């Protein structure tokens, strides 16, 4: 199943700056202070247009790299049975990429329709993911794809969600710890109907043991739509979509940021570290969290804030397990793009990149950047406005070791089924700050 497409637009690769180039950078910095670099100067290339049908359509997820530089992702629709696909994009070395469908979901016992997040690799090269619907009980599945010597892949279901105490509708991919355990969330179901956090422990012969480590209750938190982010101490962090406490925009959909701390007896302590109230953002349901080197957390909300189009926020750890919440930017949909639904990525300078799902100059979403100034404030800039023909409604992002950022759009492109794109940032502003 191959579908070869050419890159659209010129391909730009940044050079490696040697010590002798410092003077040139200073010149660039001086010019940048006079003339602001326009968004159009950034390099954006569509590397794949989804065609629908058996090749897949409408990705909801971001992407993940393997060690060879191939990209892997999923589509929500399309494939042989219409219930979505797992695909690989392989670079040819000449600026083109080949797409290969690794698996088509049937929409029955194997599950169907992959939602937010992205796939996960283990050390052996197996892929893991979840489907939000279908499965034996119609409540979603946790699956594994194992590569075969002949280039094919074998799918196996590790857990069939029942909608009971194990949860239902797992919307995002679990992550693997160093021992090979899988941790994830189910958005609904569970003992109280508000979802679960689960752990899958591997055993001999591809046998896995499923266990719930937290049951969500609708006071104070409910419905974890996205996955978990671990810190270096083994604590887990995530967000919920709903809460009953103090929410006004809209009622019951402000959400929380939470922490799960493991105990020596195998139990986990749950704590809400921030509760959104609407004016500071609401519905952090699909973007997830990332850490920086200092242990600060960053995230996005889809709604709320000054313009009701979402916010970019930061949580700073303090004494006695306290956290301080900061809004770094209130998204203004027509100007900035709004209702973000992407993961955040960081570059080597600590700048943050993400996307607005809609809004912007053409109404199809934006690619934006937030950079830290020397005085501690943040500078927000739109790097690219999606036009529809080059993609619409951008989602998850992933950054490679060279600084190129790859992402997906849910719609738009040559056939209207979404695209995979490459964005090459041009960042003289970040360089100048450090001279």
Domain count, the chain: 1
| Sequence-distant (≥ 6) Cβ neighbours of residue 93 within 8 angstroms | none
What are the phi and psi torsion angles at 137 (to 5°)? -110, 5
pLDDT at 19: 35
Structure tokens that stand for 132 in this block: 């939000």
pLDDT at 117: 85
Cα–Cα distance measured from residue 174 to residue 289, given in angstroms and rounded to the nearest whole number = 14
Structure tokens that stand for 367 in this block: 């690619």
CB 401 within 8 A of CB 415: no
429: helix, strand or coil: helix
CATH (domain of 328): 2.130.10.130
CB 289 within 8 A of CB 299: yes
| Sequence-distant (≥ 6) Cβ neighbours of residue 73 within 8 angstroms | 59, 61, 62, 63, 64, 86, 87, 89, 118, 119, 408, 420
Q: DSSP labels for 311-367? A: EEEEEEE-GGG-EEEEEEEE--HHHH-BS--S--EE-TTS-EEEEESBBSSSSB-EE
pLDDT at 173: 87
Residue whose pair of structure tokens reads 């279908």 in the numeric block: 134
Reported residue count of the chain is 435
Q: Please count the other Cβ atoms lying within 10 Å of the Cβ belonging to residue 81.
A: 15
Cα–Cα distance measured from residue 385 to residue 408, given in angstroms and rounded to the nearest whole number = 14
pLDDT at 248: 57
What are the phi and psi torsion angles at 6 (to 5°)? -100, 150
| Sequence-distant (≥ 6) Cβ neighbours of residue 181 within 8 angstroms | 199, 200, 201, 202
Residue 292's domain comprises 2-433
β partners of residue 297: 291, 315
Structure tokens that stand for 218 in this block: 């609708």
Nearest to 405 by CA among 346, 363, 365: 346
β partners of residue 271: 259
Cα–Cα distance measured from residue 129 to residue 412, given in angstroms and rounded to the nearest whole number = 25
Nearest to 238 by CA among 296, 165, 184: 184
Cα–Cα distance measured from residue 281 to residue 287, given in angstroms and rounded to the nearest whole number = 13
pLDDT at 228: 96
pLDDT at 33: 40
pLDDT in tens, the chain (435 residues): 445 443 333 323 333 333 333 333 334 344 444 334 444 457 999 999 999 999 999 999 899 999 999 999 999 999 999 999 999 999 998 889 999 999 999 999 999 999 988 999 999 999 999 999 999 999 999 999 999 999 999 999 999 999 999 999 999 989 999 999 999 999 999 999 999 999 999 998 889 999 999 999 987 899 999 889 999 999 999 999 986 555 655 555 789 999 999 999 999 999 999 999 999 999 998 889 999 999 999 999 999 999 999 999 999 999 999 999 999 999 999 999 999 999 999 999 999 999 999 999 999 999 999 999 999 999 999 999 999 999 999 998 999 999 999 999 999 999 999 999 999 987 544 444 444
What is the SS3 string spanning 153-198? Answer: EEEEEEEECCCCCCCECCCECCEECCCCCEEEEECEECCCCECEEE
For the chain, the helix, strand and coil percentages under 3-state DSSP, each to the nearest 5: 10, 45, 45
Angle, CA of 408, 413 and 416, to the nearest 5°: 105
Cα–Cα distance measured from residue 371 to residue 381, given in angstroms and rounded to the nearest whole number = 8
| Sequence-distant (≥ 6) Cβ neighbours of residue 406 within 8 angstroms | 47, 63, 71, 397, 398, 399, 400, 420, 421, 422, 423
Residue whose pair of structure tokens reads 């752990």 in the numeric block: 199
Cα–Cα distance measured from residue 300 to residue 246, given in angstroms and rounded to the nearest whole number = 19
Structure tokens that stand for 332 in this block: 């203004």
Residue whose pair of structure tokens reads 């283990």 in the numeric block: 122
């Amino acid at each position: 199943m191959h579908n070869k497409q050419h890159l659209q637009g010129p391909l730009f690769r940044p050079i490696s700056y040697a010590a002798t180039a410092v003077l040139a950078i200073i010149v660039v910095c001086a010019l940048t202070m006079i003339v602001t670099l326009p968004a159009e100067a950034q390099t954006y290339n569509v590397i794949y247009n989804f065609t629908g049908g058996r090749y897949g359509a409408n990705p909801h997820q971001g992407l993940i790299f393997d060690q060879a530089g191939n990209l892997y992702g999923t589509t929500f629709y399309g494939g042989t049975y219409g219930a979505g696909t797992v695909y690989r994009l392989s670079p040819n070395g000449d600026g083109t990429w080949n797409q290969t469908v690794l698996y088509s979901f049937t929409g029955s016992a194997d599950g169907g329709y992959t939602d937010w997040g992205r796939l996960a690799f283990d050390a052996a090269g197996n892929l893991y993911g979840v489907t939000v619907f279908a499965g034996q009980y119609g409540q979603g599945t946790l699956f594994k794809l194992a590569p075969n010597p002949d280039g094919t892949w074998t799918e196996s279901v590790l857990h069939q969600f029942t909608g009971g105490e194990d949860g239902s509708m797992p919307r995002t991919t679990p992550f693997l710890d160093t021992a090979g355990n899988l941790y994830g969330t189910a958005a609904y179901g569970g003992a109280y109907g508000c979802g679960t956090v689960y752990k899958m422990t591997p055993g001999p012969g591809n046998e896995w043991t499923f266990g719930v480590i937290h049951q969500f209750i609708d006071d104070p938190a409910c419905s974890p739509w996205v996955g978990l982010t671990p810190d270096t101490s083994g604590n887990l962090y995530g967000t919920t979509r709903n809460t009953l406490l103090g929410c006004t925009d809209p009622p019951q959909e402000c959400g929380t940021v939470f922490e799960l701390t493991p105990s020596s007896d195998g139990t986990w302590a749950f704590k809400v570290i921030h509760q959104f109230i609407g004016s500071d953002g609401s519905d952090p349901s699909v973007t997830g969290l990332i850490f920086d080197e200092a242990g600060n957390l960053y995230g996005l909300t889809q709604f709320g804030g000054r313009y009701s189009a979402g916010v970019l926020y930061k949580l700073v750890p303090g004494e006695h397990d306290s956290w301080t919440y900061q809004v770094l930017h209130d998204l203004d949909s027509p100007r900035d793009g709004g209702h973000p639904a992407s993961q955040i990525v960081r570059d080597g300078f600590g700048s943050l990149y993400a996307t607005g799902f809609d809004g912007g100059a053409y109404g199809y979403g934006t690619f934006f950047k937030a950079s830290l100034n020397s005085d501690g404030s943040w500078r927000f800039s739109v790097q690219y406005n999606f036009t529809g023909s080059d993609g619409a409604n951008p989602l998850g992002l992933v950054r490679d070791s060279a600084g190129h950022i790859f992402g997906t759009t849910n719609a738009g492109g040559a056939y209207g089924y979404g695209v995979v794109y490459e964005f090459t940032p041009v960042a003289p502003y970040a360089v100048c700050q450090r001279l």
